[in-house]
Each structure stands twice: as C-alpha cells, then as structure tokens.
Amino acid sequence: MDEKKLSPRTAQNNLVSIVIPCYNEEKNINRTLDGLLEEEKNSPYKFQIIAVDDGSKDNTWNVIEEYSLKYSSIIGINFMSNFGQSQAYQAGFDVAEGDYILTCSADLETPLKYIHDIVKALDEGYDFVNTNRKGRWGGERAAKSGMANKIIQDISGVTVVDRGSGMKGMISTIAKALTFYGEMHRFIPDYASIYGARIKEIDTEFKDRDFGVSAYVGAQRTIKVLLDLVTLYFMLYFARKPFKAMPGRLFGAGGAVIAIIGFGLSFMLVLEKLFMGAELGDRPLFTLSVFMFVLGIITMMLGMLGELMMRVYFESSGRKPYMTRKIVK
C-alpha cells in the first residue's frame, strides 16, 4: 500500500456505528456494552452501538434490551430465530447510520481499546481495516487456518492474516454495498476489495473469553465456508469487471465453437454418404456431431439468458457496476 495515495478524512456526521453479533452471550454482552460506552469517552466521535441477538437461548436479549432502554446510543435487534452471524452483521449494517461502521465480537477476545486504532486508520484514508489477533493460533489449528487463508488469498488476491477476527472497520459506502449469505461474513475483506478498497491490517492482543464458548464454530460451519469459497470466486471475478466476461461472450463463444465443430463433422459425414456411399446410421461419430451441434446452440441460448439476467440484476436493483470513492462538484 502506497500511503502517499491516501487522503485523510473524517466521519462527516461525527458518528461511528459498532455492530455486535450475539448468540448466548448473557455473561459477556454487558461487559462489552459497558466497555464500549467507556471507550466512547476517549473518542473524538460519538458511538452508535448496535447489538444483534441472533436467537439466543439464554438471557442475552434481556440484557441488550435493558441497555437499549437505558442508553439512547445503544440499539438492540432481536432475531426471531438463529439465522447466523452473517445475517446478524447484515441487520446491523442495514440500520447503521455512522460514516464509519465497525464490527465487534461480544466475547472481548480483542480488547476494545483497538477500536481507536481502527478509527485512526480510517481517518488516515484507509477504506477497510482488519485486525490480526496475535497469539491466537498455534499447533495443528494454525496449520489448518494458514492453509485455508492461503486458498482464500489465492482466490481474492487480498493478503490478510486473520479473516476470522470479529473486530473490523470500514467506511459506510463499503458496508452498505455488502450483502451477506451463508458464511460470507468471513470474506468481508475480500468482498471489500471488489470496490477497490484500500485495506490495512493491524495487530492486536488476544484474550481468551472468560465465559461460555463461541457459538460460531463447528465442522458444519467449516463445510459451509468451503462451499462459499466457490461463490466467492465467482462473485469476485464477475463483480470486479462484470462486463469483461459477459455470459453472452463466455457461453456464446463456447457454444459457437461446439456448434461449428458439430456442424463441420456432420457436413463431412453427409458428403461421405452422398459421394462415397458410406453408412451413417451405425456411425457413433455422426451421433456425436449432431449432439455437439445441438449442445452448442443450447449453450449459446444459455449465454443470452445469462446476459438478460445480468442486465436485470443491475437495472432492477439500481446497483452500478462501479463504486466511486469521491465526487467533487
């Protein structure tokens, strides 16, 4: 990152929104909320704290509701069921009003004091700030995490060490452009790169949670993340330059090649039949050539349908195939 290209900024509305996904965190969430209220005193900005209860089965929501009624800066969102961490982030981003939007885990594994470092980096001109929990990984777990991270880096081209860290920060235009499905929150830095975000990662301390265990772990979750890698690859490739590899071009060109080969083979075999008396009925090559011709036509039609779907996506959602960093009038 060439820091000479950075343009210092400030949160124009003087507000930083902090989204906290919570699931069975009744013994932790009060300490997190108290800690954020205390850190706000040392910040030049006001905090908007958004605690999202992801269908907890304990007393988490009651604690959040109590704080929300007591402090005007705290917003509580209560899910009807356990929809997942990605959806908790999405709900928080949807109601966030700050020019800077941060995420924070309820377990306090990353000390809250690093919020100021994230805000400072955003003030410096970075668009997205990730945190690396130093000392968290070790042994076999470190090897697995490193391998997974390497795969994601190869796909996205974004080099960050700790994608699983719950403390991140970004400008609101990035956060509002993100749409989460499945376990896609783990790839927030990679999706932010779609828009050309200037990304920075800062090292932080790591502290084991004092109460409970993380609800967002498990073998099933790992499988979901692996499956989401396929979607990540597709979305990164087509979202960065959506009109460089149009479906009509990809499927149209491929289908045309297949159809031409199929037609060429069929034509040659028909000529053999007409001038040499060769039989066609018992020749697998003739069946293959007809199949290739039909497949090529179908593939081209799929390309046209894909073209229409892409145009409907951009035009109906109002989304542009680009994002501007700044407009000066």
Q: How confident is the model at residue 111 (pLDDT cuts 50, 70, 90)?
A: very high
pLDDT for res 301: 84
The first and second tokens of residue 253, run together, are: 């060109």
Q: pTM for this one?
A: 0.71
Between residues 172 and 273, the one the model is more confident about: 172
pLDDT for res 180: 77
**Angstrom distances, CA of residue 283 to CA of 64, 238, 272:** 74, 42, 12
Please report the DSSP string for 153-173 in residue order. HHHH----S-TT-S-EEEEHH
pLDDT digits (tens, 9 = 90+) for 148-191: 677 777 777 788 888 888 999 999 999 998 877 667 788 888 88
pLDDT for res 228: 67
C-alpha to C-alpha distance for 149 and 158, rounded to whole angstroms: 10
Between residues 172 and 284, the one the model is more confident about: 172
Average pLDDT over residues 46-65: 94
The first and second tokens of residue 61, run together, are: 């929501």
Between residues 140 and 298, the one the model is more confident about: 298
Which listed CATH number (3.30.70.20, 3.90.550.10, 3.40.50.150, 3.40.50.1000) goes with 3-240?
Answer: 3.90.550.10
**Cβ atoms of 131 and 167 closer than 8 Å:** yes
List 78's β-bridge partners, or say none: 53
pLDDT for res 247: 59
- Is a pLDDT exceeding 90 seen at residue 52? yes
Contacts for 273 with CB less than 8 Å, ≥ 6 apart: 279, 280
Average pLDDT over residues 275-285: 76
- Among 80-84, 90-94, 325-329, name the one with the lowest average pLDDT: 325-329
C-alpha to C-alpha distance for 87 and 208, rounded to whole angstroms: 25
Between residues 191 and 66, the one the model is more confident about: 66
pLDDT for res 314: 59
Letter for the amino acid at 30? N
pLDDT for res 185: 81
Burial per residue of 136-157, b for 16 or more beta-carbon CB atoms within 10 angstroms, e otherwise: bbeeeeeeebeebbeebeebbe
Of the candidates 14, 30, 23, which has an alpha carbon nearest to the alpha carbon of residue 67?
A: 30
Indicate the DSSP class of residue 195.
G
pLDDT for res 279: 75
Average pLDDT over residues 4-31: 89
The first and second tokens of residue 279, run together, are: 């039989």
C-alpha to C-alpha distance for 264 and 283, rounded to whole angstroms: 15
Task: For residue 204, give the 3-state DSSP assignment.
Answer: strand
> How many other C-beta atoms are found inside a 10 Å radius of the C-beta of residue 233?
15
% of the chain exceeding 70 in pLDDT: 74
Q: How confident is the model at residue 317 (pLDDT cuts 50, 70, 90)?
A: low
Q: Quote the mean pLDDT of the chain.
A: 81
pLDDT digits (tens, 9 = 90+) for 16-29: 999 999 999 999 99
Between residues 78 and 136, the one the model is more confident about: 78
The first and second tokens of residue 204, run together, are: 């932080």
